Structures are given as C-alpha cells and as structure tokens.
Structure 1
C-alpha cells in the first residue's frame, strides 16, 4: 500500500508523466520567450486563454491568482514564478537551493506574500514562505515523519490555513497555521475518519484541499474502492466523509480537484489520469456542502485535475453558475453549475484559478501559463 500510495501522489509525473524537464530559468531573470508554452501552443490554439512568456519548461501544478495583474506559479525542480503585469512577463523567484524539490501548491495573499508546498516522502515535504515577493524565503515546516507525505494546502484568510498529508496510522494528517504560514502544528486526529484501504490524495493541482469562507474545508481522495470527499466546518478539527460518484477502485482514479463558490455549492473533478484509460464520469456536483454528490449529466470528456468557478459579474447572465475545468486534453466550461460541460480549448493544463476582479489563470506542463478575462468565455449559452 505504501509504495502504491507514494506513486499515486508523486507518480502523476513519475513514470507515466516523466519528470524529464529542463532546468528552470535563472533565478532573478525576467523571461522574454515562452519556451515551453510556444512549443505546446500548436497542440491546441487557445479559445479564451492567452499564453504568456514564462521562459521555462517546468511543470506548474501549483497556481495562486491574486488579481488581474498578479499571480504566482509553483512547479517542478523547485521553480516559483511571479508576475505583476498580467502575465506579460514572469520573474523567477525560486528559493535558493530548492532545485530538488517538487512544488505542487502555492497560496498567495498579494504580490509580496506567498506560501509554497513541496511534496514527497519524509523531509522532502516542506513549506516555505516569502514576505518580499520571493527575494528571500524562510522554511517554516519540514516533515520529519517518514510515513507522512503532504499533498495540498489551503488558507481561509491571510492568517489561518491548513495542509494535509496522506494517511498516517490510518488517518489523514492535518497541519494548521494561525500566523500566515510562519509556524505549523499537527492537529489532533480524533475527529478524522479512518482512511479506506489504499486511499490517498492526488498532488495534481493544489486542489485536493480547498476552503470557502472562514471555517469550511474539503479534502478529496482516490485510490480506494470509492472516491470520497471529506468536509470540516471547524477548520480541520472534525471531519465527515461522503462517497462521490467519480470512479475509483484503482490507484490512478478518484477525485483530483475541488472548487466551492460558497459553503454549499461545489464541483469535484477527476477520473483516471492515465492517457489510455477512459474517464466517463469525470465531474460531480453538490448543493449541500458535500453531504451528497451527483454525477454531471454531461461531464467533461476526459480526466480533469483542476476546476475553478468563474468570477461573478453583477447583472451578467449565467456567470453565477459558470466554471472551468482543466486537464491534459483541454479546458471545459459549464454555465449551469457543473451539470453540463463543453470543451472550449484543447491545450494541456493541470490547474486553474480565478480572481474576484474577473481574471482566470491556468498552468501546466512545459512552462504553460495562460490568462483570460471572464468575458473571454462564452457564458451566455450561445457559444463564441
């Protein structure tokens, strides 16, 4: 089980999606060419996405959208990028000496403050924090338990946040911070349900642990006989587990990403990440905070790892129920809260994030980071 679980979390790049990426751009440089993004643009010309020049071919599974000008991306080989001009240029602000780390999640509060999570067994699971736009970094947590393997993190506000590990002693382990990621403590496990045999989370998009509002948080799982979503309404102290209809029963299947627009309405995406396997039920929705889930009537056509609600615009039709889902084979749009989806782009992305001011960002393999305003997507039901 242990080896299978580790391969499931790390192995999203592993043998199936090999980590044969070139070295990241030189720290401190301002890239001017979209090395990897340009190479993959031909595979699927964006409909709403505008590819940006990252200057690296790292794979970015961690993404934090602050506003239409500012975003952070964290990825392979210890690479962290930041833009403050809407993606027209990216600055490599990678922590010194982090080249052996795999960053899979980043949470940013503004253009200067961000927290990144490195995944892996034992001490390779770490949290680093910056308060000066990435000029300097401080390591605030290093996992010393060889049984733990951290996958995702989320913040309720600029001070309170959580990170989660695959099961240790049969239960998911939860880290908590009350000071913006400067220090962390392991929460008691008494309120955590037992993990299922073979169950774990996927470090695929930074969305296996998500929050909405000041106290609600959800955790996505896979690998076991069923794929579950766990919910806590007290910042991770106690949890309740619900079975999702997204297929599981294999280490490569389950719920990979979650998004909640409020404490009730949520979307789960996933499937089977192997390119040669079908994912017929790749999305599910809830209207009761995750107490129950139902399969999308017309789900995305393939495995999806990331999902985000589109920003709401006052008076605009459908925007309250609009969301994007992304994966290696494309981007899908829903305008009815996740009940039906249609593919609007065929480029490869691993994760997606949207901001309140109407901007969405997506990132993925070979340096691909794209941006689009909400109006770039056909949310009026008529298409482009």
Structure 2
C-alpha cells in the first residue's frame, strides 16, 4: 500500500473558542472572492517540492525530488541550490528551518532511504544525523517545538507508529519506546505529502494524522512524544484517503484537511476542525469544505482565524478558522507554510515542476 501511495503522490489558545469562532462567524468565507493570490517565484528547478519551511517573508527553504534543497533569502527573487552532496537519489519530503542558516531535511522511503540531514551554514555543508536501519520503518514527516526539541514520524512497525526524537536541534536522534503508543489499525499509515502529517505545538505538544484504514485518526501528545492518545476523525479514509495535513493555532484549536488523492477535484469529507486539542473533531460540510483534495494547510500570521489550504486542484482560504472555505487560486501546490511576525510575516507554497509562490493580497 505504501508503494501505491508513493507512486500516486509522485505522478496559544485562542480566546474562548465558542465566543471567538462561532459556527457561522461574521466574515465567514463565501459571498465574495478573497483577495489572496500566489505570486510565483521562479526557482529554475523541475523538482517536486513537497518539503517547505517558511522562516519569514524573505527567507524560505524547499526540499524535494532528486535530493534537491533550495533556499531564498530575498523573498524568492533568487534561489540557491544548497542540496546535500550525494543525495540525488533521495526523495526529500520535509524541511524544517530555524533561520537562514540552520535547517533539517527529511528523506523518505523504506529502510535506509529514510534519513535526516542538518546544516548550520545555509546549506554550504550538511551532516547526516539519522539513517533508518529498520527495513520495516518508513519516515513521513518531522517537526520541532522549538530550536532544540523535535519529533520524526514513521509508519507502523510491529503494529505501532514509531517516533524518533531529538533534543539538540536534530544533531542526533533517538528511537522512542512504543510502550505509550496506541496500536495502529490494519492498513493505517501517514501521508508524506507536505511535511504536515505531524505538527508540533507549544511546550511538548504534538499531533499526527493518519489514513489508509477504515477511518482516519489523530494522535496527540503533551509530553514530547513519550505517550499518545488517539481520536477518530469523521473525515474520509481508505487506501488513498485520510488526513493529509494538520494546522494548529495554540494547544486547542486546529484544522485538518485531506480527502482522496485519487479524486483531486472532489471534496470527499476533506476538512474538519477541533476546539479541544484534537480530542474531538467536527466535519466541515461538503458545501463549505475546500473544493478538492488538499495536502497542506497553515494559519496565516497576523490574522485571527485565517487558514490557507493547498492541493493539486487549487488553493482555498477560510476566514473563520476552517468552518467554511473559498477557493482563490487554481494553482497546483502540495505544501503551504507561514511564519514570522508583524511586517516580516509571510506565507509560502511549493509543489510540482519547481513551483514556489508567496501569498499576497
């Protein structure tokens, strides 16, 4: 099933939530076309960039096929090829950057194809800091709570999802015991689609999302990944369906997007929201959901509850925390990430054929 998936993919707490985000909040999406749009920033690459790290409006990193990693420090006017040497056969699917110089990239695949590289000098040199030696493990995504603590997620091994942890910014990784991990469902896995199948929150909180089984689920931890609780989701699931991306604002309010990547133009139970840190999820009705399968999502900095979701058939925005969505672009992107504060805040998207865009309005 994992082989099928690779082939298919390759071709603070808010204020009182009930007060802040009512089901039909004023200013909800719909009624007018949002003014957001993507400004393309040519990269000169033909790689598919599913890995994306936004630092601010000027600095971003992308990572993708053919072992390629690019970096910009001038808002996308120019991109530098800073790929790790000898990585041409690897599939990079996630990158997490702390600033313009420090970044960690994840290569996916079975066995030793799953690796982590780290740079401290803007990609002039890289150190391989993790190589998976278990032929049954397959790492999908990683994320950091801060510049030191991070987690990487593997599909189930011996019936349980596996977590690797770092406490030194990715310089070294330790495989965690699965004693505190609930059992996986038959056929359950995570999607290495945009680097957001696992997301880290404040403190030691983190969540990861799944698909592939008879129902999608969201796992959550509050102790840095040592113990996990799991909740069912009302979204679609199946061999090519599930939750592809999570986005959280603070420890309680979150959005999940996904659907069925074999039906990219259909919103097949494609979005849901949570008010309680992922313990329960509310399905977004089809008429208010994103207009197709979506693989990436992110909250927009400087807004109260604006969320952007991207996928191969277009991009959608929600102005009310994910309750309703409006498509604003038909551009093909796989990943979206936002970062920065005030005038330095920015959102980026990346995808096939070297495409990278900056969100403008």
* Same fold (TM > 0.5): yes
Name the SS of the counterpart of 1:320 in structure 2.
Answer: coil
CA contact (8 A) 1:153 1:161 kept: yes
Q: Which position in structure 2 is the counterpart of 1:38?
A: none
Distance 1:76 1:60 in 2: 7
CA contact (8 A) 2:265 2:313 kept: no
Distance 2:169 2:100 in 1: 15
Distance 1:368 1:207 in 2: 18
Distance 1:214 1:118 in 2: 26
Q: Which of residues 70, 95, 101 in structure 2 aligns to 1:112?
A: 101
Q: Which position in structure 2 is the counterpart of 1:80?
A: 69
Q: Which position in structure 1 is the counterpart of 2:339?
A: 355
- Structure 2 gap segments, 5+ residues each: 12-34
Distance 2:42 2:328 in 1: 22
- Structure 1 gap segments, 5+ residues each: 18-45, 313-318, 377-384
Q: Which position in structure 2 is the counterpart of 1:300?
A: 290
Q: Which of residues 2, 5, 25 in structure 1 aligns to 2:2?
A: 5
Distance 2:124 2:263 in 1: 38
Q: Does 1:269 align with 2:269?
A: no
Q: Mean alpha-carbon deviation: is it higher for 349-358 or for 359-368?
A: 349-358
1:277: Cα distance to partner?
Answer: 7.1
* 1:89-121 residue CA offsets vs partner (Å, 9 max, x unmatched): 100000111000000000000000000000001
1:13: Cα distance to partner?
Answer: 3.1
* 1:136-180 residue CA offsets vs partner (Å, 9 max, x unmatched): 000000000000000000001111000010000000000000111
For residues 113-128 of structure 1, the aligned pairs below 5 Å read 113-128=102-117
For residues 138-217 of structure 1, the aligned pairs below 5 Å read 138-217=127-206
* 1:199-229 residue CA offsets vs partner (Å, 9 max, x unmatched): 0000000000001112110011000000000
Q: Which position in structure 1 is the counterpart of 2:266?
A: 278
1:276: Cα distance to partner?
Answer: 6.5
Q: TM-score, normalised by structure 2?
A: 0.90
Distance 1:345 1:235 in 2: 37
Name the SS of the counterpart of 1:280 in structure 2.
Answer: coil
Would the alpha carbon gap of residues 290 and 278 (structure 1) be closer, same or farther in structure 2, given more than 3 Å must change?
same
CA contact (8 A) 1:5 1:198 kept: no
Would the alpha carbon gap of residues 191 and 6 (structure 1) be closer, same or farther in structure 2, given more than 3 Å must change?
farther
Q: Mean alpha-carbon deviation: is it higher for 349-358 or for 71-80?
A: 349-358
Name the SS of the counterpart of 2:304 in structure 1.
Answer: helix
Name the SS of the counterpart of 1:115 in structure 2.
Answer: strand
Q: Which position in structure 1 is the counterpart of 2:275?
A: 287
Q: Which of residues 305, 311, 336 in structure 2 aligns to 1:321?
A: 305
Name the SS of the counterpart of 1:218 in structure 2.
Answer: strand
Name the SS of the counterpart of 2:78 in structure 1.
Answer: coil
Would the alpha carbon gap of residues 276 and 161 (structure 1) be closer, same or farther in structure 2, given more than 3 Å must change?
closer
Q: Which position in structure 2 is the counterpart of 1:364?
A: 351
1:356: Cα distance to partner?
Answer: 2.7
Q: Which position in structure 2 is the counterpart of 1:39?
A: none
Q: TM-score, normalised by structure 1?
A: 0.85
CA contact (8 A) 1:105 1:152 kept: yes
Q: Which position in structure 2 is the counterpart of 1:58?
A: 47
Q: Which of residues 184, 187, 207 in structure 2 aligns to 1:218?
A: 207
Poorly superposed stretches of 4+, deviation over 6 Å: none
